[in-house]
Structure 1
Amino acid sequence: MTIHIAEGDIAARTRAIVADLRFLEGPLLPILHEVQQEFGYVPQEAMPVIAEELNLSRAEVHGVVTFYHDYRDHPAGRHLLKLCRAEACQSMGGDALAERVKALLGIDFHQTTPDGGVTLEPVYCLGLCACAPAAMLDGEVHGRVDEQRAAELVAEARR
């Protein structure tokens, strides 16, 4: 299910977010996080508003959004499953785990299942290197994820 938000609503809501956070030192990242929290992603229509309000170029805002993996330019599914792709997790079977999860979901990284239920994203460290491989489902981290635990996480996300 896609929720359509009018461009004027996006601009007005984005301006309100910027007004609340512009006083912070280095406000761009917190503003982008809040915009994504509000809409589920960073809409294209929000970027020129942020640029104008912070006296930045559109290219600067776009560059930050595309540089950081946490920002999305399209809505995510109802559940967000992130798999660690860093070296420690890869050395402990992370590549095979990623392939298994992709097969279970029928999607690749940066995609959402056709029913809109699960979005699969790579991340480059969850801070659980000693418990590799690691995953995060809806903000909750899981360590020592094997094939069975991966199947459980996918089943949990599909409910």
Structure 2
Amino acid sequence: MSQPTVNLTETVHSAIDAHRHERGPLLVILQEVQERLGYVPPAAVPLIARELNLSRADVHGVLTFYHDLRTEPPGRTTLSLCRAEACQAVGAEALVAQVEEALGVKTGQTAADGSVTVNQVFCLGNCALGPSALVGGRLHGRLDRDRVVALVRAEAS
């Protein structure tokens, strides 16, 4: 995947300037960079570290600790499958395996063609209608393999 067309240095400095005055601003800066670029490019780590007087390891540690932060661009469609207990009780584990096979993408990865990123989440608050998932940011319940694949394809078109 290629680097974003937006100026990385400008984006990082803008996020830092907006939050430098806050106590412990690293996480919110990383979130803002991701919001603007879609992910936090590895090249942003030394810029942020230098400006906040942190080590690269400190920045990298926070970036890789939080599952919602990405160091690579997401797919054009993002699928987040719920794996919490209520969804597990109605077949979420089997659904995850079926969807991974149908889409050819493992949880936590992006398809080679950049079409879809498959994530896992642990509760979407849709427990009565499990198994549930977010497809392109929209919540869906009572899912099966065919419905998930259809939703992903519809989102991609």
The TM-score by the shorter chain falls in which range? 0.7 to 0.9
Supply the AA of the counterpart residue of 2:113: D
What amino acid is aligned across from residue 48 of structure 1 in structure 2?
P
* Match among 81, 84, 100 for residue 82 of structure 2: 84
Task: Tell me the TM-score normalised to structure 2 length.
Answer: 0.86
1:133 equivalent in alignment to 2:131: yes
Checking the alignment, whether the CA contact within 8 Å between 2:77 and 2:152 is kept in structure 1 is no
Q: Which runs of 5+ in 1 are unaligned?
A: none
Structure 1 stretches of 4+ moved >4 Å: none
Give 2:3's aligned residue: 4
How far did residue 5 of structure 1 move?
Answer: 4.5
- Aligned-partner residue type, residue 18 of structure 1: I
State the Cα distance separating 1:111 from its structure 2 match: 2.1
Could you tell me the TM-score, scaled by structure 1's length? 0.85
Q: Say if 1:90 and 1:27 are closer, same or farther in 2 by CA, change over 3 A.
A: same
Matches within 5 A, 1:117-128: 117-128=115-126
Offset, 1:110: 2.2
What percent of counterpart residues are identical? 48
Given that residues 87 and 132 in structure 2 are in contact (C-alpha distance below 8 angstroms), is that contact kept between their aligned partners in structure 1?
Answer: yes
The answer to whether structure 1 residue 17 and structure 2 residue 15 are counterparts is yes
1:107 pairs, out of 100, 105, 108, with: 105
Q: 1:22 to 1:117 in 2, by over 3 A?
A: same
Extract unaligned runs of 5+ from structure 2.
none
Instruction: State whether residues 43 and 73 of structure 1, in contact with CA within 8 Å, keep that contact through their aligned partners in structure 2.
Output: yes
Tell me the C-alpha RMSD between the 2 structures: 2.1
Aligned pairs, how many?
157
CA change 1:106–1:157 in 2 (3 A) is farther
